[in-house]
Amino acid sequence: MELDDVQSADAHGLDRSILDQLLLTRGVAADDLERHAKPTMRGFLPDPSAFRDMDTAAERLAQCVMTGEQVTIYGDYDVDGATSAALLVELLRQLGHAAGYYIPDRLLEGYGPTGEALVKLAETGSRLIVTVDCGAMAHEALGMARDAGVDVIVVDHHKCSPDLPPAAALVNPNRLDESDLGAAHGHLAAVGVAFLLGIALVRNLRAKGWFANRAEPDLMGLLDLVALGTVADVAALHGLNRAFVAQGLKVLARRERIGMAALMDASRLTRAPQCSDLGFALGPRINAGGRIGESTLGVRLLTTDDPEEARAIAAQLSKLNEERRAIEGEVQEAAEAQLAGQHNMAVQVISGHGWHPGVIGIVAGRIKEKTGKPAVVIALDETQGKGSGRSISGVDLGAAIIAAREAGLLVAGGGHAMAAGLTIDPARLADFAEFLDTRLARDVDRARAGQAMLLDLALAPGGLTPELVETLEAAGPYGVGWPAPRVAVGPVRIVKADIVGKDHLRLIAAGMDGRSFKAIAFRAAETEMAQTLLHRNNGRRFHLAGRVKLDDWGNRPTAELLLEDAAFAD
């Protein structure tokens, strides 16, 4: 199949001047607006051969396809790992090759390939193992695999050290000797790198005449997996990633993948999925299997052809996700109790005994959002600590973790700019925290000094319309590195304000133009902003700022403001 873009109806009635301005403020050159207005694969896809070892990896995989040699895909236990593994398993299946897969247990085996697991796979007949979303730093494990006579291809996106592990091929845009074009795609998630390997593999087989009497695989049909893994891994949504997600959402809307359709049903998604659904509804359910349940559930769901099995797995993942939320809440409360004593630290390093390692990454993300600083949360047992970190834009946490490991402060560690993982001797916790504080203090200060709520549009309430929401959404999908637009609406008076749910602020605001709108601020009940708006300050008027969304619960869709900040208008 030719790599054509997924077809869908173009949006009509868009305000092109607003759309162009959104693109310009996100760094798009004036002469490149059209390409970014409609991000397509054809417009952004690089030549996979530009990446180091890509052709070597494709050639080795092509040999397996043509000879039937046994292959195992070794994936990480998170969403990026599960989607990467599912993508290669599905692609090889379409090529007539039944590949196996192996997902390690988070608690028993930890992150990345172990030598014992690779050797065991070799002993059961695998002559080629492809690691996805892991392996870039697995020197010892890959050495054991080499000694056992098995080839290993590493498909990863995490930071690499100068000395690379002994792999048959290592495809990673973040290897230090990468080509300029390859390095320009260092923001790809592992599933995006796996997709490029898939393109290279099909091209290699085409050159060998493999498709003379066979249908080529549906590469574009794999973009639902790429979109899910990219968003769930919080990869920067600019350039190729934005095209991946834009096209992948169209594939998701067709609900052709049995497991993905079951996952959407379990998430109660009846409309076409949006980018936010990947990060907040679908992704967490896949992650729940690797965090607190059975690590293979995600890949099983995404590769099954059995609707009944898909429904059962999706229901199981939803139940695990609810359990994960309860566990996460307990760890979150304990972690926040430690924050008071760390207000002067550049990086929040928080640890506790008995914390579940499967939720520490989520808690680190919440601490980061609460404090505006990078956060590392560490679950301790009697002998070691397992940690997970989340960073802020402009602070490369992955590089700092690698430096700490090389300085002897960590047993293991690695990651990328925005997220990292580690293993530590509890006796080194204080030294590790001091190392991060010293190394990253200047970067954190610089990043936080540059933080401000940047507004894309100011308007009266009458301008907050479904048509405006449609125009703003056309510049998406949005995420890290491609922020969703923020608007300021005002001046307005608060007609009604109350607390709904556990701690959400709900408003009805009206402007001088006679138009009113609804707004909601999630988890904001105790903030100064919420208390000010609840008391309405004797009828004073406000400017309200945030992101807009479509509220389609009623008979007629209306625009709603997701409130993030407020200021007095007089």
CATH number of residue 548's parent domain: 2.40.50.110
Is the domain of 398 the same as that of 279? no
Q: What is the pLDDT of residue 108?
A: 83
Last residue in a domain, options 410, 427, 449: 449
224: left (phi over 0), alpha (psi -120 to 50) or beta: alpha
CA distance 288 to 299: 12
481 and 432 fall within a common domain: no
Indicate if 309 and 385 belong to the same structural domain: no
CA gap 136, 142 in Å, rounded:
10
Asked if the structure places residue 356 within a domain, the reply is yes
Same-domain pairing of 139 and 85: yes
One domain for residues 178 and 237: yes
Pair of tokens at residue 168: 């048959």
Number of CB atoms found within 10 A of residue 94's CB: 19
**Looking at residue 334, what DSSP letter applies?**
H
293, 355: one domain: no
Domain span at residue 523 reads 457-568
User: Phi and psi (nearest 5°) for 169?
Assistant: -160, 145
**Least-confidence region, from 8-22, 85-99, 183-197:** 8-22
pLDDT over 50 at 413, yes or no: yes
Q: What is the pLDDT of residue 2?
A: 53
Two tokens at 216? 């080529």
Residue 224 lies in a domain: yes
CATH number for the domain spanning 436: value is: 3.10.310.30
Instruction: State CA 561 to chain mean position distance.
Output: 25
Confidence at 3, pLDDT banded by 50, 70, 90? low
Q: Which two tokens stand for residue 496?
A: 């009604």
What pLDDT score was predicted for residue 8?
Answer: 46
Of 317, 348, 369, at which residue does a domain stop? 317
What is the bridge-based pairing of β-strands 504-511 and 516-521? Answer: antiparallel
* Domain co-membership, 193 together with 119: yes
Provide the pLDDT for residue 4. Answer: 64
Residues 297, 408 within the same domain: no
Tally Cβ neighbours within 10 Å of residue 29: 10
State yes or no: pLDDT of 191 exceeds 90.
Answer: yes
- Predicted confidence at residue 12, as pLDDT, reads 46
Average pLDDT of 458-474? 92
Q: Which two tokens stand for residue 179?
A: 């080509």
Name the percent of the chain lying above pLDDT 70.
97
Cβ atoms 73, 88 nearer than 8 A: yes
Q: 437 pLDDT exceeds 80?
A: yes
Would you say residue 26 lies in a domain?
A: no
pLDDT at 331: 95
pLDDT of residue 231 exceeding 60, the answer is: yes
Q: Is 327 contained in some domain?
A: no
pLDDT at 9: 38
User: CB-hemisphere CA count at 13 Å for 297?
Assistant: 27
Mean of the pLDDT values across residues 254-270?
96
Question: Does the residue 39 lie in any domain?
Answer: no
Residue 19 is assigned to a structural domain of this protein: no
Rounded CA-CA distance 221/87 in Å is 10
CATH number at residue 253: 3.90.1640.30
Please give the pLDDT value at position 282.
96
Q: pLDDT by residue (tens digit) across 355-404?
A: 998 899 999 999 998 889 999 999 999 899 999 999 998 899 999 999 99
Q: Following DSSP, what letter does each residue of 64-126 receive, concatenated? A: HHHHT--EEEEE-SSHHHHHHHHHHHHHHHHTT---EEE---TTTT-SS--HHHHHHHHHTT-
Of the pLDDT bands very low, low, confident and very high (cuts 50, 70, 90), residue 13 is: low
d(CA 370, CA 383): 30
116, 242: one domain: yes
pLDDT bin (cut points 50, 70, 90) of residue 1 is very low
**Terminal-to-terminal C-alpha distance of the chain:** 61
Helices and strands of the chain, counted as H and E runs: 21, 16
pLDDT over 60 (residue 171): yes
Residues 271 and 402 grouped into a single domain: no
Q: Which residues contact 332 (CB under 8 A, 6 or more apart)?
A: 363, 366
Query: Which of 422, 449, 476 represents a domain boundary (last residue)?
Result: 449
Helix H or strand E encompassing 466? helix 466-474
What pLDDT does 364 receive?
A: 95
Query: Per residue in 287-334, pLDDT tens?
Result: 999 888 889 999 999 999 999 999 999 999 999 999 999 999 999 999
User: What number of other Cβ atoms are within 10 A of residue 498's Cβ?
Assistant: 11
- Give me the number of domains the chain comprises: 3
Q: Quote the mean pLDDT of the chain.
A: 92
pLDDT at residue 538 greater than cutoff 80: no
- Say yes or no: 544 and 507 in one domain: yes
Task: Report the run of H or E that residue 551 belongs to, with start and end.
Answer: strand 542-551
The 3-class secondary structure across 110-172, one letter per residue, is CCCCCHHHHHHHHHCCCCEEEEECCCCCCHHHHHHHHHCCCEEEEECCCCCCCCCCCCCEEEC
| Position 570 pLDDT exceeds 80 | no
Highest mean pLDDT among 183-197, 458-472, 480-494: 183-197
